[in-house]
């Protein structure tokens, strides 16, 4: 009995954070944390120790959801991209699947950025957050709107509350897509299986001809990406051999004009193997983030996209690993101006004393904190909460 009582003791940090979370949910408008067609959604809830501890929850309306959040205050709450006839049914086949939104999950730790070698993964830096925001914008502006034909009114985006963004497409055409069809969409975004011979071709005397920037789909994307790298002097980052990169760079104006005007990729003398390698390297690097090494779309968690019963973070709910909101971005066009370490803060700047184990310097609320190592400090509530949720700080009196 004494052992059981000891196990049930809740750490003061968990109690402190639960009070803060509860205070947030008491103030939030019910509609703010309610997804469309809430009565058709399944919900999953997480504890201080686990992001999804239980699922198969359902709520009849926004007020019922808010009341639950205030009374029970989970540290994580996710909801289904899917719509169900009986969302609280179990096992899964009894729910009666009715369709699902198309969802994309982008996370900075998928980008393999150079900066990630200098800080812990759980502490994304400004460069990490900027890079994943750029990839999210690229997904929308380069794929979902021009290639798939979705309108921006059918697309919504929200910060994940931690390291990335979630993009939701609500459209009757995609609602009924099976998992394999969603995987096809993800593969297209990934550029899976693209080969040089399908986009580049040789005509008279082996002349290398290929896409121009105004072409639709991957053709135009590859041409634009090459020109971007050429203008930035970063061809070697795409894997182009250094000597060839220098020749192309030296003749950048002529090379650009040939590609833009005629699709002529052969304005600089190259041998056959160089042509083949250049074409494939540009395909492999199309959409690459200059600071990273991933291909376009590699930043998308495809498992989220084709799993038609996946649970995804509830927009405007709080994230138990940061104490920040999974903030909805009002309009897709506002994404470029969104700064999560400012705009997703929900707690006050009241001083809180904490003992910090180890944390790198981070910028939050336009202030720089740290680095810390075994430090007793007084921090604004939002920064203290961030470190407590990261399990790097404890309350200190």
> Does the residue 108 lie in any domain?
yes
> What percent of the chain has a predicted confidence (pLDDT) above 90?
64
**Are residues 42 and 140 part of one domain?**
yes
Q: 247 pLDDT exceeds 80?
A: yes
> Does the residue 6 lie in any domain?
no
Going by C-beta distance under 8 Å and a sequence separation of 6 or more, which residues neighbour residue 149?
A: none
Confidence band, pLDDT 50/70/90 cuts, at residue 1: very low
Q: Say which of 101, 105, 266, 298 is annotated catalytic.
A: 105
**Are residues 243 and 387 part of one domain?**
no
Q: What is the pLDDT of residue 109?
A: 84
Q: What is the pLDDT of residue 2?
A: 40
Q: What is the pLDDT of residue 76?
A: 98
**Are residues 170 and 49 part of one domain?**
yes
Q: What is the pLDDT of residue 276?
A: 78
Q: What is the pLDDT of residue 8?
A: 55
Measured CA to CA, the distance from residue 225 to residue 279 in angstroms comes to: 12
Write a three-state SS string for 38-98. HHHCCEEEECCCCCCCEEEECCCCHHHHHHHHHHHCCCEEEEECEEECCCCCCCHHHHCEE
Q: Structural domain tally of the chain?
A: 3
Residue where a domain stops, chosen among 262, 285, 308: 285
Measured CA to CA, the distance from residue 289 to residue 114 in angstroms comes to: 11
**Structure confidence by residue, pLDDT tens digits, 335-376:** 999 999 999 999 999 999 999 999 999 999 999 999 999 999
* Structural domain range at position 276: 196-285
Annotated catalytic, 301? Answer: yes
pTM over 0.95: no
306: nearest Cα among 219, 195, 190: 190
Q: What is the pLDDT of residue 302?
A: 61
Greater confidence (189 vs 91) lies with 91
DSSP assigned state of 323: S
How many other β-carbons are positioned within 10 Å of the β-carbon of residue 109? Answer: 16
Q: Say which of 101, 107, 266, 298 is annotated catalytic.
A: 107
> Does the residue 83 lie in any domain?
yes
**Are residues 171 and 67 part of one domain?**
yes
Task: Please compute the mean of the pLDDT values over residues 80-89 and round it to a whole number.
Answer: 97
> Does the residue 294 lie in any domain?
no
**Structure confidence by residue, pLDDT tens digits, 120-172:** 999 999 999 999 998 899 889 988 999 999 999 999 999 999 999 999 999 99
Q: What is the pLDDT of residue 200?
A: 82
> Does the residue 365 lie in any domain?
yes
**Are residues 86 and 33 part of one domain?**
yes
Q: What is the pLDDT of residue 292?
A: 26
Annotated catalytic, 109? Answer: no
Task: Please compute the mean of the pLDDT values over residues 29-39 and round it to a whole number.
Answer: 96
> Does the residue 263 lie in any domain?
yes
Q: 184 pLDDT exceeds 90?
A: no
Q: What is the pLDDT of residue 290?
A: 24
Cis peptide before 91 (omega within 30 of 0): yes
Annotated catalytic, 105? Answer: yes
Cis peptide before 371 (omega within 30 of 0): yes
* 42 close to 84: Cβ distance less than 8 angstroms: yes
**Are residues 93 and 18 part of one domain?**
yes
Task: Please compute the mean of the pLDDT values over residues 278-301 and round it to a whole number.
Answer: 53
DSSP assigned state of 268: S
> Does the residue 1 lie in any domain?
no
- Pick the range with the lowest mean pLDDT from 241-245, 302-306, 382-386: 302-306
* 144 close to 150: Cβ distance less than 8 angstroms: yes
Q: 19 pLDDT exceeds 80?
A: yes
Measured CA to CA, the distance from residue 27 to residue 18 in angstroms comes to: 14
Collapsing DSSP to helix, strand or coil, 20 comes out as helix
Measured CA to CA, the distance from residue 34 to residue 316 in angstroms comes to: 9
Q: What is the pLDDT of residue 18?
A: 98
Q: What is the pLDDT of residue 349?
A: 97
Task: Please compute the mean of the pLDDT values over residues 298-325 and round it to a whole number.
Answer: 85
Q: Say which of 88, 284, 301, 343 is annotated catalytic.
A: 301
**Are residues 122 and 64 part of one domain?**
yes
Q: At 84, which CATH number? A: 3.90.920.10
How many other β-carbons are positioned within 10 Å of the β-carbon of residue 218? Answer: 21
Confidence band, pLDDT 50/70/90 cuts, at residue 73: very high
**Are residues 338 and 369 part of one domain?**
no
Collapsing DSSP to helix, strand or coil, 14 comes out as helix
Q: What is the pLDDT of residue 342?
A: 97
**Are residues 380 and 266 part of one domain?**
no
Task: Please compute the mean of the pLDDT values over residues 382-393 and round it to a whole number.
Answer: 98
**Are residues 18 and 106 part of one domain?**
yes
> Does the residue 50 lie in any domain?
yes
**Are residues 273 and 326 part of one domain?**
no
* 80 close to 100: Cβ distance less than 8 angstroms: yes
Measured CA to CA, the distance from residue 249 to residue 231 in angstroms comes to: 8
- Helix axis angle for 62-72 and 12-27, nearest 10°, is 160
**Are residues 373 and 329 part of one domain?**
no
């Amino acid at each position: 009995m004494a052992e059981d009582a000891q196990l049930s003791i809740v750490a003061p940090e968990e109690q402190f954070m639960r009070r803060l979370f509860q205070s947030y949910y008491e103030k939030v408008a019910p509609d703010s944390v309610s997804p469309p067609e809430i009565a058709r959604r399944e919900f999953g809830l997480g504890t201080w120790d686990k992001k999804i501890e239980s699922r198969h929850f359902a709520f009849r309306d926004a007020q019922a959801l808010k009341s639950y959040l205030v009374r029970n205050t989970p540290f994580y709450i996710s909801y289904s991209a899917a719509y169900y006839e009986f969302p609280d049914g179990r096992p899964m086949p009894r729910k009666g699947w009715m369709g699902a939104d198309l969802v994309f999950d982008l996370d900075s730790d998928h980008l393999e950025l150079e900066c990630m070698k200098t800080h812990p993964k759980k502490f994304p830096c400004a460069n990490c957050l900027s890079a994943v925001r750029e990839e999210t914008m690229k997904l929308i502006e380069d794929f979902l709107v021009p290639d798939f034909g979705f309108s921006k009114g059918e697309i919504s985006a929200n910060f994940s509350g931690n390291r990335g963004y979630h993009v939701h497409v609500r459209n009757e055409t995609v609602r009924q897509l099976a998992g394999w069809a969603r995987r096809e969409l993800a593969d297209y975004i990934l550029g899976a299986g693209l080969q040089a011979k399908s986009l580049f071709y040789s005509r008279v005397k082996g002349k290398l001809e290929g896409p121009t920037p105004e072409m639709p789909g991957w053709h135009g994307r590859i041409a634009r990406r090459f020109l971007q790298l050429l203008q930035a002097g970063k061809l070697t980052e795409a894997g182009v051999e250094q000597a060839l990169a220098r020749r192309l760079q030296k003749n950048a104006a002529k090379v650009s004009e040939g590609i833009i005007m005629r699709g002529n990729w052969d304005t600089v003398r190259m041998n056959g193997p160089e042509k083949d390698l250049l074409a494939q390297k540009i395909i492999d690097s199309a959409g690459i983030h200059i600071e990273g090494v991933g291909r376009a779309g590699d930043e998308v968690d495809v498992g989220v996209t084709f799993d038609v019963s996946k649970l995804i973070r509830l927009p405007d709910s709080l994230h138990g690993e940061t104490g920040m909101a999974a903030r909805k971005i009002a309009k897709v066009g506002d994404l470029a101006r969104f700064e999560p370490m400012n705009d997703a803060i929900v707690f006050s700047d009241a001083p809180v004393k904490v003992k910090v184990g180890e944390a790198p310097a981070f910028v939050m609320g336009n202030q720089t904190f740290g680095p810390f190592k075994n430090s007793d400090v007084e921090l604004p509530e939002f920064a203290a909460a961030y470190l407590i949720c990261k399990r790097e700080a404890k309350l200190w009196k």
